[in-house]
Amino acid sequence: SVTDSFIAGLPKAELHLHIEGSLEPELMFALAERNGITIPFDSVEAVRAAYDFSNLQDFLDIYYAGAEVLRTAADFRDLAVAYFDRAVADGVVHAEIFFDPQTHTDRSIPFATVITGLLDGMADAEARHGLTSKLILCFLRHLSEEAAFATLAEAEPWLDRIAGVGLDSSEVGHPPAKFQRVFAAAAEKGLKRVAHAGEEGPPEYVREALDLLAIDRLDHGNRSLEDAALTARLAREGMTLTVCPLSNVKLCNVASMDVHPIDTMLRQGLRATVNSDDPAYFGGYIAANYQAAARARGLSRDDVVTLARNSFLGSFLDDAAVAAHL
Ligand code: ES4
Ligand code: ZN
């Protein structure tokens, strides 16, 4: 069996991490105090007790409320520094992190405040730990196409520091097709493209992400397994799936870790990776995700090494940097 120290010691890339989802309750309280904001909880324990979700929307409501304590560039830097420090302890050597600018610009926090803080945190992680990182700007799919285009326009001065665009938030009812034109515009600017699909939405949403958004990487993708032809296509095309086991169980998209499909994905030839999604909300960082999935599904050391190797193959690092990590 695979030990915790083997997993923690294995160099890995994190490819599916919402930085706002790494806001631990302790930091939430500290930032609320620093910014003179009151939050509707009496204690860290009360916050954690509220993290009991039945589905994605349940979680998103609490996640967007939690983000309200983030106000200044220093807040975003401290958030990122805390995540990177924690990730290093789990053996992460490279991280491609999502941020949700609309969650902040819709509360009148300037785009520049958000991104300068995050970039400061990224520089700090590289200086102190040698951890490399990239930023992926996510559009909130429950908002309009027009709002996504406005966000892409705001990102224009920062495009040399943004690796790609993504698509997150409430999936069902907001198919990838809604964002076809904004993804095409992002592609023309040289940005990579990823999208959450098949987390709660049907296999058809995964097909749309492939065919209409021309994604370079698929976030979650679990429901692809319901469609054998789609699964075969993902394997044939070498598409990377960023799977998030603890998230899947916490959001009730998988009944329990004992029936998580991570091993099925590997056996079907999918380039699956393991990631932490929103670790402050879902009960563990990346090593805990590897451990829980490996234990429940009986993964071998070779399987775990394959997952870590896939994380570099699926990253947006250049070929020389990927080769240096394999
Ligand atoms: C998310 Cl787990 C998940 N799914 C979709 N959107 C998200 N934003 C943050 N976490
Ligand atoms: Zn996610």
> Ligand 1, from 167, 222, 277, 281: best to mutate by most atoms within 8 Å of Cβ?
277
Q: What is the pLDDT of residue 193?
A: 99
For residue range 141-151, list pLDDT tens digits in order.
999 999 999 99
pLDDT of 1 = 83
Take atom 1 of ligand 1 and give the residue whose Cα is closest: 169
**Cα–Cα distance for residue pair 11/9, rounded to 1 Å:** 6
Q: Which of 55, 56, 104 to mutate to test the pocket of ligand 1 (most atoms within 8 A of CB)?
A: 56
Task: Tell me if 311 sits within 8 A of 321, measured CB to CB.
Answer: no
* pLDDT mean over 114-126: 99
pLDDT digits (tens, 9 = 90+) for 20-58: 999 999 999 999 999 999 999 999 999 999 999 999 999
Amino acid at 121: G
Q: What is the pLDDT of residues 176-223, one digit of tens each?
A: 999 999 999 999 999 999 999 999 999 999 999 999 999 999 999 999
Query: What band does 82 get if pLDDT is binned at 50, 70 and 90?
Result: very high
DSSP secondary structure, 115-173, as one string: HHHHHHHHHHHHHHH--EEEEEEEEETTS-HHHHHHHHHHHGGGGGG--EEEEES--TT
The pLDDT tens digits of the residues spanning 275-313 come to: 999 999 999 999 999 999 999 999 999 999 999 999 999
Position 303 scores a pLDDT of 98
Q: Which amino acid residue places its CA nearest to atom 6 of ligand 1?
A: 169
pLDDT, one tens digit per residue, over 225-258 is 999 999 999 999 999 999 999 999 999 999 999 9
Joined tokens for residue 30: 């500290």
**Where residue 323 falls among pLDDT bands split at 50, 70, 90?**
very high
Q: What is the mean pLDDT of residues 263-271?
A: 98
The count of other CB atoms within 10 Å of the CB of residue 264 is: 15
Q: Averaged over 104-121, what is the pLDDT?
A: 98
**Considering the entire predicted model, what is its pTM?**
0.98
Domains of the chain: 4-318 (3.20.20.140)
Query: What value does the mean pLDDT of the chain take?
Result: 98
Name the residue at shortest CA distance from atom 8 of ligand 1: 169
Going by the annotation, the residues of the binding site for Zn(2+) are 16, 18, 196, 277
